[in-house]
Amino acid sequence: MSHLEEKRPIYKNWWFYIAIIVLVIPYIFMFSTLIKPDFDIMDFSITSDTTDYTSIQNTTTYKGKGFVTTNDRKGVYIVALKQTLISGGGEDTEKESVGIVIVSNGKGEFSTYDYGDAGTITKPNYEFEIMGSKKIN
């Protein structure tokens, strides 16, 4: 090794660039797998229906429907969705439950269903929280 090669700055050596590439590629791969898509709850609405029986107690049902969306249109995800009753409902309405939503092509549908005796159940109001997700393809 000559005296001139020892004084050469490190960035002028070809092995320096190979070392950088070898060190950086695993980090890029690792961080790209850690990036998770954002999920949102969209367009949740509730409709109601009350029966009109003459011989038995009338019932009121509340059917809710909403969507979990993401910008990733290619992946398929299993999303855990926590549903918490904030107000309304009836005595049989679950106060908290966890459901699974399959999100495909950027969108997955979920629903709620509540029923009770007419006059004793009121329109439920829910809060939703996405607890986690797992990409399955």
Q: 23-56: per-residue pLDDT in tens?
A: 766 666 555 454 566 777 777 778 888 877 766 7
CA dist 33 and 12 (Å) reads: 33
pTM of the model: 0.66
Phi, psi of 51 (to 5 degrees): -70, 165
Backbone Cα Rg of the chain: 28
| Separation of first and last alpha carbons in the chain | 53
Q: How is domain 39-135 classified at the architecture level of CATH?
A: Sandwich (2.60)
User: Which burial class, exposed, middle or buried, applies to 62 when counting CB atoms under 10 A from its CB (0-12, 13-18, 19+)?
Assistant: buried
Which residues of the chain are in CATH 2.60.40 domains? 39-135
Is 108 in contact with 67 (CB distance < 8 Å)?
A: yes
Would you say residue 4 has pLDDT above 70?
A: no
